[in-house]
């Protein structure tokens, strides 16, 4: 998922199987998975969104300076997913 802003673009997330992006984005939108925030070797943070078996659904780039901003970036990604796909229809 890429968010375009005036004069630049930000990579919000990538999925391990790019051709299957829609199910991953639906799961992000619906918070159907487990969020994990991890710190990488250079001190930056990234979020990983995994299914109930621990398989990766989507991940952010390791660019966040702290865990709070990383979690906030996931919230932005969920907002973008709702914007892209619309709110789910609950029955």
Question: pLDDT (tens digit, 9 = 90+) per residue, 51-91?
Answer: 999 999 999 999 999 999 999 999 999 999 999 898 876 54
pTM: 0.85
Mean pLDDT of all residues in 15-26: 86
Whole-angstrom distance between the N-terminal and C-terminal Cα of the chain?
28
Cα 56 to Cα 25, 46, 87, distances in angstroms? 12, 13, 23
pLDDT band at 47 (very low <50, low <70, confident <90, very high): very high
DSSP-based helix, strand, coil % in the chain, nearest 5: 35, 30, 35
């Amino acid at each position: 998922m890429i968010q375009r802003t005036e004069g630049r673009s930000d990579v919000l997330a990538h999925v391990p199987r790019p051709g299957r992006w829609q199910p991953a984005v639906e799961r992000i939108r619906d918070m159907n998975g487990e969020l994990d925030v991890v710190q990488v070797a250079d001190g930056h943070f990234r979020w990983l969104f995994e299914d109930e078996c621990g398989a990766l659904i989507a991940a952010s780039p390791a660019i966040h300076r702290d865990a709070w901003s990383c979690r906030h970036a996931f919230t932005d990604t969920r907002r973008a997913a709702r914007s892209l796909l619309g709110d789910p229809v609950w029955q």
